[in-house]
Amino acid sequence: MFKFILLTLFLNFVQSEMRFCGHDELVRQDKPKRFLALERDSSWSSLRVEADWSNMSKESKAKYSQYLEAAIDYYANALKVHRYLEGLNWDSNSDTYSCDLSAKDFYGKYIEADYYVLLIETFDSSQSFAARASSCAQDSATKQPIIGFIEINTAYTDDYDSRLLVAVLTHEFTHALGFSTSFFPYFIDQNGEMYGDNFYINETVRDTPTVYMITPNVVKRAREAFNCNSLPGLELETQGGSGTAYSHWNSRIAFNDLMNPQAVFTDFVYSEFTLAAFEDSSWYQPDYSYAQTINFGYKEGCNFHEKKCIINDEPISRMFCNDTHAESLCTHDYLSRGKCYLIENSAALPKEYQYYSDPNLGGNKLTDYCPIVAGNFNCRLPGCPNSDFMEEVCENCRCIEGTYSLTKNYEITHAACHKIACTDNFVEIYIGDNIIKCIKTGDMMDVPGFHGKLKCPDIEAICRVEPCLNNCFGTECSSGVCADSSLNNYSDCNLCNDIPNDCNNSDVPSNYNYSKYSGFWEILAGLGLLIIA
């Protein structure tokens, strides 16, 4: 009975398009005001940010400040600017530059900063956004955003764990800094001119109208990451409403990037693409050591971009899936196990997204309906491992597929988490007392004492450097390890308070994500299908 209810929740929730942020609607309704052109230093220095919390309760400030600080710290580390030579004397008249929001924390103070962000809160479950952001004022000379706000809808975010809050606040702050279709035209090119409409081109790719950002550093970084020298640039999202389209990277291409339009936030990546866009603005100089290697589509070549995801009923890449009969599968990065999200929609999909003889069959809308494994159990987070597979969760654990089992013969594939160790040419997988040595991707291996076989993973991909959980709260993540060693803790106890004592409870499906936050929004986020509009 429980499994039926969970499946019903899965199908109902993932088909709902949850409004998550509405930055562009806000910008269009109230264009940022011009700010006086204060003199800037000609050299590059770390971005200075000041935050005003006077529009939030003490309780909300106590809860959310560390997560905004993580976002601020990340960009203070990752971005440099031409600093203002003088600060601001803030009084109530300055509210006209901050979306007419009060900034009482700033009143009567001389503040030296390059960006001012105001935090506001609402509690309204009738609204469909969890957070949204906008810039309120721009430098009149360069059009660089310098004042903005982030609005948090605590009706939803009060139940978020640290992974989601770091991601949500950083995502929104990225928009406020200028990552938005409303600000791309103000980017300044190498000739000192604003791009206007020249930051993008329209093309038809995969029989689909596609918009590419074509600024030079974005082009360079995209071609290198995907190993495709013919790429015109990097695709912007074209699906969704005005708060989603053109202000995010296309989720079908950049599925686990922080600035994709879906909450794939458990193991999101601060990619070099977003830093490259900021570099192309000429407002910022990025430090790419704070960027992380993408996992989704990495080095997949031009076919990954040019071909449809499913051809003759088969995926063109392991980034996509087709097996809906499997008990569970591994996500593209081998960090989680989950299910192939491929459903029968209530109506025929747009013709360009019909990959099967059944025109109603497809994946999530924002991945161009391509089926992708949606993770719901993270191998690095506390949970209830499946004892029949001798599963474990740990910092060095990764997802492995197979039909192996201690107790029975499996005819369908399942996934499980196991500790691994990588060398230059092979990967070792630890299952109980066994060490399985995988030399060739796809080999089927016996596991002593087990029924069935283990399928060797993509050795290069499973051994690739993984993103740091919580993204080190804004500090540097290098080779999957936080530079601040105190942040290298994969056991976030906020996630394990409500784990059942009896992990073998037969009423609980083995692929359920045991989390304190296992309600409506967490299930969506755990599946990687929470929409950021």
The one catalytic residue among 121, 151, 172, 235: 172
Task: Name the DSSP letter for residue 148.
Answer: E
Region class of 457: left (phi > 0), else alpha (psi between -120 and 50), else beta: beta
Residue with tokens 């105190």: 486
CA dihedral 387, 390, 393, 396 (to 10 degrees): 180
CB 415 within 8 A of CB 343: no
**Residue 172 is a catalytic residue:** yes
**Burial class, 423, CB count within 10 angstroms (exposed 0-12 / middle 13-18 / buried 19+):** exposed
Question: How far apart (Å, rounded) are the C-alpha atoms in residues 457 and 451?
Answer: 19
Phi, psi of 152 (to 5 degrees): -110, 125
Q: What is the DSSP string of 418-469?
A: EEEEE-SS-EEEEETTEEEEE-STT-EEE-TT-BSEEEP--HHHHTSPPPPG
Question: How far apart (Å, rounded) are the C-alpha atoms in residues 345 and 359?
Answer: 9
Quick one: three-class SS letters along 45-58? Answer: EECCEEEEEEECCH
CB 466 within 8 A of CB 333: yes
Say whether 346 sits in a helix, a strand or coil. coil
Binding-site residue positions for Zn(2+): 171, 175, 248
- Other Cβ atoms within 10 Å of 469 Cβ, number: 26
Tokens of 117: 């962000």
* Residues paired with residue 201 on neighbouring β-strands, in sequence order: 212
Quick one: three-class SS letters along 177-229? Answer: CCCCCCCHHHCECCCCCECHHHHEEEEEECCEEEEEECCHHHHHHHHHHHCCC
Q: Which residues are marked as active site?
A: 172
